[in-house]
Amino acid sequence: MPHRGEPYDLAANAAAILGELAVHQARAVFFVVGRMVEEHPEVVASLAAAGHEIGLHGYEHDELARYDAEAVALLDKNLGRVAALLEQMTGRRPQAFRAPYLLGPDFYRGDVYSVLREQGFRWVSNREVRYPVELLRPRPGIVPPYAWRAPDGTARLARNRLLLGPLNAKLVAKGGFLGSPAGRLRWLRGQREPFARDGMTEVPVYAPLDCDLLGLPKHDEDTPKAALEYSRAVIRAAVAPRPGELSMITFHDWIVSGGNRLPLLADALSAAGEHGTQIATIAESPGWLSQTG
């Protein structure tokens, strides 16, 4: 958590999130830090017992992009120990990995991916995509509170795919996948399908993260109404993709369970149901993984 010394009841807030998921009979992927598996096994066990997929989120919540060779070797050792513990606890070795900070600024590192592949991970989710809707996030003095609203009061969220290229210029120029900048630009403006990388499937980030929409609030403080309404509109649009498209909504536990933000999770699940969107974890789709990976 970014706010040092902030009181936070991990078990209670995990239970609140599990409760919302249970109401909608939805299963999620929980990316947990390795130390959490060792220090709070009862919380992790409750996630698995409710039928959710457990992935790893590094061992410490630090920047893997800055690791030297010694730190990468220690990561390998720590992940192996934690993965074995998870398998003992849940009966399943983790298949999923998302790095803290998504391995930015490049969102990929070959030696780290080599460790993940050798550890048996089958899919990763570090490829960040910047989305036009982030430009309209309400910010005092920068973006007016309701700039995203159309004159009739409906959401006027920028979904122009032409803006994706300029916003993701580095991805297009040096993304390191799909062979060429032209191929990456077509991918970016298309359905952004998962792709094979280093023997694993890379599932890109399909919508802004909650922190992209809400910033980094303290756990116990409320989010201003304008920012909350804006985030709700973005999320509802993201959970209603075109036929054949994938979507992924990412929440940090301490953000969504705190203040007045838990309804965002309930609303996302309700909107998915209203649009007939199938809610499933990657582990529930092994055939899909084998096709793309």
Percentage of residues of the chain with pLDDT beyond 70:
96
Find all residues with CB under 8 Å of 281, minimum gap 6, and list them: 27, 28, 29, 52, 53
Give one word for 179, left, alpha or beta, with left for phi > 0 and alpha for psi -120 to 50: left
Query: Tens of pLDDT along 179-206?
Result: 999 999 999 999 899 999 999 999 999 9
Question: Is residue 171 assigned to a domain?
Answer: no
CA dist., res. 90 & res. 194, Å (int): 27
Question: Is residue 4 assigned to a domain?
Answer: no
Q: What is the pLDDT of residue 5?
A: 76
Q: How many domains does the chain have?
A: 1
Question: Is residue 146 assigned to a domain?
Answer: yes
| Other CB atoms within 10 Å distance of the CB of residue 100 | 18
Query: Tens of pLDDT along 52-63?
Result: 999 999 999 999
Question: Is residue 267 assigned to a domain?
Answer: yes
Query: Tens of pLDDT along 102-160?
Result: 999 999 999 999 999 999 999 999 999 999 999 989 988 899 998 888 887 777 777 67
For strand 123-124 and strand 195-197, is the pairing parallel, antiparallel, or unpaired? unpaired
Question: Is residue 47 assigned to a domain?
Answer: yes
Question: Is residue 180 assigned to a domain?
Answer: no
Range of the structural domain that residue 37 is part of: 10-159+192-292
CA-CA-CA-CA dihedral for 62, 130, 244, 103, to nearest 10 = -20
Give which of 215, 186, 209 is closest to 125, Cα–Cα.
Answer: 209
Question: Is residue 187 assigned to a domain?
Answer: no
In this predicted structure, the answer to whether residue 293 has a pLDDT above a threshold of 70 is: no
Q: In angstroms, what CA-CA distances link 225 with 131, 145, 235, 267? A: 22, 9, 15, 15
We report the CATH number of the domain holding residue 278 as: 3.20.20.370
Question: Is residue 63 assigned to a domain?
Answer: yes
